Every structure is written in C-alpha cells, then in structure tokens.
Structure 1
C-alpha cells in the first residue's frame, strides 16, 4: 500500500492527470461530498493553476492492510493571486485516507 501511495504522489507531482484513475475511484467522495474522478481532477487542475509550483513531499507514511493510509506531507509552493505572487512557503499537512474497498 505504501508503494501505491508513493506512486499516487508521484502522479500528482508530475501532473499526470490521465493516470489519476489508477489511484482514485470514479465515484470518489470527500467529507461526504461526492465529486467523482472528473471533479477531483478539476480541483487538482485548479490548484495547479493557482499554485503552479506546488510539490508534495512525504515526510512520514504508514499503511496498514488492507486499506488504511496516513501520511504527513510537506508542500512547497508559491501562490498566484491575480497578477500578484505570494512568497514561497512550506506547509505541513496530515493526510489520512481510508478506502471502502480493497485497492488492487
């Protein structure tokens, strides 16, 4: 599972949106809000337009079979707002994911 998650983060960092379906379900739900794979991709594309140099770095990763994943992430980024560039910064986030069905 940890190898699969690292591959997913690599897809995000490479902006390889066509490969998202290898990691994200067609009917993905976040915080009880269904938005599907197409909606998730649209969110990521918008994020990259606003933060073109965003990069996800895994600091700590734990994966418990069959499907629980928790990761502490570090993001380095420069945010664009209109024509203004907000200075680069690093941000840490704790990301937890749980799949409702096994991932092949």
Structure 2
C-alpha cells in the first residue's frame, strides 16, 4: 500500500525509480508491497527481508560482492530473529 501522505510529483525518477531496482518491468518496492503485506511481518522481519531482496536485485548494477555480503547479513539477522522466536515459543 503506497504512502498517500508523500507527494512524489516533483521528485526526479532517478530518486523514485532508480534503474537498478526496476528490471524487466518489475519494481522491487511494488514486489515487496504485494508479497509482504502489512501486519503479517514484524517491522524487523520486513526490514531484513526487504533489504536482502533489494541488495540481491541490484548487486550486478551497483556494488557486486559487497551487495551480496549485505544481503547475506540481512538473511543472517532474519534467521537469528526466527531462531529466537522459535526458542521463545518452545519455552512457553
């Protein structure tokens, strides 16, 4: 669901639609909004998932291995969060 309070009318497309996030007609932000709806994921989960996908999608056009390392870091953080959640559920 797009934020209706922000007016992007006068913002250049280089800011709102960078080429490294728009490939083959697929928009990373739109993908995330559709596949990771509000209230299904915690803020932390959404942040880790979104950043991992973002870095994977852009690594060839931007920072190569560095972006893949960043994606791996966010996946690791998500896994640690999930393991912590499982541990809490098991001890309840």
Q: TM-score, normalised by structure 1?
A: 0.28
| Structure with max Cα Rg | 2
Higher relative contact order (CA 8 A, sep 6+): 2
- Structure with the bigger percentage of strand: 1
